[in-house]
Amino acid sequence: MENTKNLNPQLGSASMEPTRKNTLPNFLLSVHLKYIKLGYHFLITHAIYLLLVPLLGVVSVNLSILSAEDLAQLWNHPSFNLVTVILFSALIVFMATFFFKSRPKKVYLVNFPCFKPWPELICPREVFMEHSTIAGIFNEENLAFQKKILERSGLGQRTYFPEALFQIPPNPCMAEARKEAKMVMFGAIDELLEKTGVKAKGIGILVVNCSLFNPTPSLSAMVVNHYKLRGNILSYNLGGMGCSAGLISIDLAKQILQVYC
């Protein structure tokens, strides 16, 4: 029997061989590759611990077989056990140094100033509802919903509103939003620098967070340019992440200080 089959007399004979199916797994799409990466990351991160645990086990076993007479002899005649004394002392020093160096650095909140606008920006709920009614862009259902939100949101009668909302009709444009951001940020930073006595050039890390307003150039760039901060500053701008970004920004500042300071 021949392994070839003539498919077309004009084209000549062609060899028909069974195609081999690729049975090798796609490692790039394999789920197991994820666990390999996690294992490698764990191994590199905790390599020093994985090396110290067997060493401590060996030392513990050797110390457990020593009697009181052996310890007394080692104490009274260290010159005869010089190598053991040196190695044991070096191990203690290394472990103590590693323990204190590996501990996370403590970060303290030195000051926390809040910007307080001038009294002209105080807007009671009645004034806000009056302006919404005069604007003429909301129907009765919208106004009832706004009143319901105001009563349940916890906003008091001495709540501050931006200047754009005092205009009739309101003017929520990009220019007014930038004006409000500068007023709040620069006011709080000026108070902070005054209280702490820190110079603007001494700031090495800047984290700015805003839940909704996320312009370009960023808010952090506005702060850097306004206070003429140094060129190698670590600047982070968090935007559009909601109210939870306040805690995220504080944790980010803490982690950066632990790494770079």
DSSP 156-186: -TT-B--GGGGSSS----HHHHHHHHHHHHH
Q: Residue 28's pLDDT is what?
A: 53
- Whether the CB-CB separation of 183 and 219 falls below 8 Å is answered with no
Largest CA-CA distance found in the chain, in angstroms, rounded: 103
Indicate the angle between helix axes 47-64 and 82-102, nearest 10 degrees. 140
**Residue 232 and residue 32: Cα distance in Å, rounded?**
41
- Residue 162: CB atoms within 10 Å: 20
What is the predicted pLDDT for the residue at 1? Answer: 43
First-to-last C-alpha distance (Å) of the chain: 81
Q: Which of 147, 183, 148 is nearest to 164 (CA)?
A: 183
Nearest CA among 118, 113, 256, 107 for reference residue 193: 113
Strand partners, 205: 234
Instruction: Identify whether the C-beta of residue 217 lies closer than 8 Å to the C-beta of residue 210.
Output: no
Nearest alpha-carbon partner for 168 in 206, 127, 208, 111: 127
- What stretches of the chain show up as alpha helix (H) in DSSP? 31-45, 47-64, 68-76, 82-102, 125-135, 140-152, 174-196, 219-227, 245-260
187, 115 in Cβ contact below 8 A? Answer: yes
Phi, psi of 224 (to 5 degrees): -60, -45
Cis amide prior to 124 (ω within 30 degrees):
no
pLDDT at 11: 44
Please list the residues that pair with 200 across neighbouring strands: none
Per-residue exposure over 9-47, b if at least 16 CB sit within 10 Å of its own CB, e if not: eeeeeeeeeeeeeeeeeeeeeeeeeeeeeeeeeeeeeee
Q: What is the mean pLDDT of each run of 10 residues along the chain (261 residues)?
A: 45 47 54 72 73 74 72 66 71 75 80 90 90 86 91 87 84 89 93 91 92 89 94 90 87 89 73
- pLDDT score for 104: 75
Question: Whole-prediction pTM value?
Answer: 0.61
| Total residues belonging to the chain | 261
pLDDT the model gives residue 184: 93
| 229 in Cβ contact with 200 (< 8 Å) | yes
Q: What is the pLDDT of residue 229?
A: 93
Beta carbons within 10 angstroms of residue 116's beta carbon: 11
